[in-house]
Amino acid sequence: MSQAAPSSRPSPRPPPLFEDAAHASAVPAPVGLARLEDTLRPVPVDAPSAPRGVWAAGLRQQLPGLLMGAASLCSMLLFWHLATTYRWDFYIRFTNIPTPWEVAQKMVEVNHSHKFITNVGMSLRRIFIGFALATVIGVALGLAIGRYKLARGLLFPAMEALRPIPAIAWVPISIMLWPDNEVSIVFITFIGAFFPILLNTISGVQAVDDVLLRASQCLGARERQIMWYVVLPGAAPQIFTGLAVGMGVAWVSLIAAEMISGQFGIGYFTWEAYSLISYPEIVLGMITIGILGLMCSGLIRFVGKALMPWLAYGARAGSMR
């Protein structure tokens, strides 16, 4: 954090009492607490800000990293280009792999195709429904299991028994369980996201500092208020870790489910491209899946930062745990 920042920016508040010891002690304060203004200095910690110059300095600092990142990506593209253009074949075969150029052309082409957009839309819809359900149910159960012995005793063993089964292994059962294909794919997505969210919520709840719980009780909080104002925000950083992991697993599960049992969806699109020997579309599907996954986890990080501004200052500053 920049040391110069506080002085260079106009203060949004009237001058702080601490800076003005003479003035403060001249006015008799109603309670003796005011005396400490004479002796205590505020810690010069200010909200993280982006004054001009910091960006440039930051850029200069990050430049080597950015250059290396660009070089890394370019060499991957170059390798792909060379391997596919010259159809390298040495045990691992690049003969049928489309070139970057072919994929780029396809990318432009499908932008005009209704089919592609529909597939992407279907996948996103499944992700959001499955993930939203997993979030609501996972966090609610996690709060209960983390805080109440009864819930832990009754629910946790069942959860632990189901947890090691990967979401994809649920595919056949899911098809039998649910009335139509669409619901069963959403269910697979839900299963994928559910367990990371549940487990992280439980451990987040259990990690809430006991002194905060006691403090809230002393301030008159009842159980429901403790849950809402103390346990939930206290567990929030770890819940968001669970959401980020859950989102990743949800995508894995969704793509697999779409490939196996799907109609529509980006996973189905990719698999169908293979069946129809439309090779550029395979790679396009892969890239699309990657970008969608990246966007979804970015969204979670963004929401997390917006909802938990206090994390910017703590011992864990800069990370979401």
Partner 1 sequence: MSAAARKGHVQIKDVSVRFGSKGRMTEAASRVSLEVQPGEFVSIIGPSGCGKSTLLNIVAGFITPSEGEALLDGQPIGGPGADRGVVFQQYSLFPWMTVRKNVEFGLKMKGLGQNQREAAARSLLGMAGLLAFENHYPDQLSGGMKQRVGIVRALATSPQVMLMDEPFGALDSQTRTVMQEILTNMWQQLQLSVLFITHDIEEAIFLSEKVYVMTARPGRIKAEIPIPLPRPRTPEMTASPTFQALVRQLKALIREESLAAMGGELDNGGLQGIDHQFSHDGMKALI
- Which residues are at the interface with partner 1 (CB under 8 A)? 13, 16-18, 24, 29-37, 39-40, 42-43, 45, 209, 211-212, 214-222, 225, 229-230, 233-234, 236, 308-310, 313-315, 317
State the helix-helix crossing angle for 266-275 and 279-307, rounded to 10 degrees: 170
Q: Where are the alpha helices (DSSP H) in the chain?
A: 5-8, 21-26, 54-85, 100-110, 114-147, 149-162, 171-177, 181-206, 210-218, 223-226, 232-261, 266-275, 279-307
Residue 71 or residue 317: which is nearer to partner 1 going by CB?
A: 317
Report in angstroms how near the CB of residue 200 gets to partner 1 at its nearest.
17
Residue 230 or residue 250: which is nearer to partner 1 going by CB?
A: 230
Calculate the alpha carbon distances from 63 to 2, 27, 51, 66 in Å.
20, 53, 19, 5
Report in angstroms how near the CB of residue 302 gets to partner 1 at its nearest.
18
d(CA 3, CA 9): 12
d(CA 137, CA 155): 13
Report in angstroms how near the CB of residue 58 gets to partner 1 at its nearest.
22
Residue 83 or residue 221: which is nearer to partner 1 going by CB?
A: 221
Report in angstroms how near the CB of residue 186 gets to partner 1 at its nearest.
33
Q: Residue type at 280?
A: P
Residue 43 or residue 150: which is nearer to partner 1 going by CB?
A: 43
- On whether the CB atoms of residues 18 and 41 are closer than 8 A, the answer is yes
Residue 167 or residue 226: which is nearer to partner 1 going by CB?
A: 226
The contacts of residue 102 (CB under 8 Å, 6+ apart) are 279, 280
- On whether the CB atoms of residues 296 and 132 are closer than 8 A, the answer is no
Residue 7 or residue 118: which is nearer to partner 1 going by CB?
A: 7
Beta bridge partners of 89: 93
State which H helix or E strand residue 92 sits in: strand 92-93
Report in angstroms how near the CB of residue 258 gets to partner 1 at its nearest.
39
What is the distance, to the nearest Å, from the Cα of residue 13 to the centroid of all Cα atoms in its chain? 35
Residue 181 or residue 225: which is nearer to partner 1 going by CB?
A: 225
Report in angstroms how near the CB of residue 317 gets to partner 1 at its nearest.
8
Report in angstroms how near the CB of residue 278 gets to partner 1 at its nearest.
51
